[in-house]
Amino acid sequence: MSDQTAPSPQAQNALQTGIVQLRDVTEAIRVRIRNPAKLRNLELFLLVIAWVLAGGAMVLVQLGALQRVDLFPLQLAAGLGVLTLALHIVLRIVAREADAIILPVATVLNGLGIAMIYRIDIADGLSGWDAASMRQIAWTGIALLVAIAAIVVVRNHRVLARYRYVAMAIAFILLLLPLMPGIGRTVNGATVWIGVGPLSFQPGELAKIALAIFFAGYLMTARDSLSVVGRKVLGVRFPRLRDLGPILVVWAMCMLVLVFQRDLGTSVLYFGLFLVMIYIATGRRSWMVIGVGLVAVGGVAAYFSLGYVQRRVHAWIHAFDPAVYEAQGGSFQIVQGVFGMGHGGLLGTGLGLGRPDITPYANSDYIIPSLGEELGLTGIVAILGLYLILVSRGVRIGFQGPDDFTKLLGVGLAFVIGLQVFIVVGGVTRLIPLTGLTTPFLAAGGSSLLANWLIVALLLRLSDSVRGRGIV
């Protein structure tokens, strides 16, 4: 063996590639026959249960609140079921190896959300296009169609890495749109809406996806200089001053959102997203130290200079103080939500049988306490479990990703959902101060639905690209 040298690389290659290519092809065919879309069949099975759950929730709402079954809303919901089936069929064709869990879980959450919004509509006596549930059903349809289009159009998500600076520009434009005179709208103090005629939209919801793409693309190229160089202070390696640029820019952007759009939740979400992605990219704890420090500085400054931040903190700490409870913009909403969940107890009052409509914004910001009241602790823990599964699938996809961009994007998108759930649920349960963010898939609101179904589409596309690596 030792006295023989290897044949010249070229000659050996030509021979080997020919034979091995042939073997690869036959292997691929064999795998295709032996493993006929096992993942997709699992997905279909779970999807059927998801339909039963979503439809069952709606029927229960009607039995509880109306004491009869009204077929019309059920037919509309069935239409959405057909659209999720269409998404499933599209996956069978263009993304056979995509994750099987994400779509059914998102369907259950979306269905529960529609049922609860419908329940609040019944309590408020709304019908037709005045009813938030009708609009929610329409937006779900649009969101599903956009998700299908995204999966069909984006065949290779790595192409997105090339458009990272375009994504950044889009994110900035979307963020600034609500500040433009004429189309910007201020609702409840927060300038995060744009409106044309009767239609309104929260562009910040889509901006978070564009930002995740930008961060993933940027960190993919910059991770080495961000992680390797720097000097050590107290055993933690800190980056060079010039490498701090991007994190300061993102921080400044979030502070601008905080000051001019008066939206605490969104700025925390964006900054948290960036922090997590930079930590994943570099594995350096110093970024977390710097980031948390910046949040602390920003938070303290905001508390002392911005009245609405101060009111939020007071309503959080002194929620049960009668003066705060009765004050305008006080803790009435928080306390009602807490009472509602307490009323629900372990098993809940039953769908359609509680009084969640007493709480302001019971169908959007406060949909979690509404569900907590009517489904009880058992139901709310199940819902949190569904979110946990969704986020863990995203992290798992990122973990298995073959390249840095896939990894960062997968984890980043999953983290957006996770952080949003934490901020909302933490806010309504008085763990952290209340901030206005939407509960993914559940809360009434078209922009949020659209953005979250786009995230689902991207995660499905990502998971298809890590094919054959033992998912399920």
Partner 1 sequence: MSELTLIIIRIGFLALLWLFIFIVLYSLRSDLFGPRLTPLQRVAVQSARSRESGAAPAPAAAGADAPTTVTERQGASSASAQATRVVITSGPRSGLELDLPQTGLTIGRSSGSGLQIKDDYTSSNHAKIVRWREQWVVQDLGSTNGTFVEGKRISESTPVQVGSSVRIGTTTFELRR
CA atoms within 13 A on the CB side of 153: 9
Task: Please tell me whether residue 23 binds partner 1 under the rule CB under 8 A.
Answer: yes
Binding region for partner 1 (CB under 8 A) out of 49-57, 82-90, 168-176, 262-270: 49-57
CA distance 42 to 355: 38
Residue tagged 């779970």 (tokens): 46
| Positions in 167-226 near partner 1 (CB under 8 A) | 223-224
We find the least distance from the C-beta atom of residue 204 to partner 1, in angstroms, to be 31
Site for partner 1 contains 7 (CB under 8 A): yes
In the complex with partner 1, the residue whose CB is nearer, 67 or 328, is 67
CB atoms within 10 A of CB 3: 4
- Which residue, 147, 25, 9, 59, is CA-closest to 460? 147
Tally: H helices and E strands in the chain: 17, 5
CB of 50 to partner 1, least distance (A): 7
Site for partner 1 contains 55 (CB under 8 A): no
Burial class (CB in 10 A: 0-12, 13-18, 19+), 326: exposed
Q: Does 63 bind partner 1 (CB under 8 A)?
A: yes
CA–CA gap between residue 289 and residue 189 (Å, rounded): 32
Distances (CA, A) of 443 to 107, 338, 362, 382, 403: 14, 18, 9, 17, 34
Stretch that binds partner 1, among 142-150, 266-274, 333-341, 464-472 (CB under 8 A): 464-472
What is the phi-psi region of residue 189: left when phi exceeds 0, alpha when psi lies from -120 to 50, beta otherwise?
Answer: left
**How many CB atoms are closer than 10 A to CB 172?**
15
Residues 93-122 that bind partner 1 (CB under 8 A): 100-101, 104-105, 108
Does 1 participate in binding partner 1 (rule CB under 8 A)?
Answer: yes
The answer to whether residue 10 forms part of the interface with partner 1 (CB under 8 A) is no
Least distance to partner 1, CB of residue 442, Å: 14
472 binds partner 1 (CB under 8 A): yes
x-marked contacts with partner 1 along 366-405 as a string, rule CB under 8 A: ---------xx-xx--x--xx--x------x-----xx--
Give, rounded to a whole angstrom, the gap between the first and last alpha carbons of the chain.
43
Nearer to partner 1, 197 or 468 (CB): 468
Distance CA 119, CA 250 (A): 40
- Edge-first strand order for the sheet with 190-196 is 184-187, 190-196, 199-201
Q: Which of 345, 466, 320 lies closest to 407 in space, CA to CA?
A: 466
299 near partner 1 (CB under 8 A): no
Out of 33, 36, 67, 232, the only residue in the binding site for partner 1 (CB under 8 A) is 67
Does position 244 interact with partner 1 (CB under 8 A)? The reply is no
Q: Smaller CB distance to partner 1: residue 120 or 383?
A: 383
Among 4, 10, 75, 156, binds partner 1 (CB under 8 A): 4
- CA pair distance 252, 451, nearest whole angstrom: 24
Minimum distance from residue 441 beta carbon to partner 1 (Å): 15
**Looking at 10-18, 86-94, 246-254, 360-368, which segment touches partner 1 (CB under 8 A)?**
10-18
User: Three-state SS for 155?
Assistant: coil
In the complex, the smallest distance separating the C-beta of residue 249 from partner 1, rounded to whole angstroms, is: 24
Residues 226, 280 contacting (CB under 8 angstroms): no
Nearest approach in angstroms of CB 227 to partner 1 is 7
> Does 41 participate in binding partner 1 (rule CB under 8 A)?
no
List residues near partner 1 by CB under 8 A.
1, 4-7, 9, 11-13, 15-17, 19-21, 23-24, 42, 46, 49-50, 52-53, 56-57, 60, 63-64, 67, 100-101, 104-105, 108, 223-224, 227-228, 347-348, 350-351, 375-376, 378-379, 382, 385-386, 389, 396, 402-403, 470-472
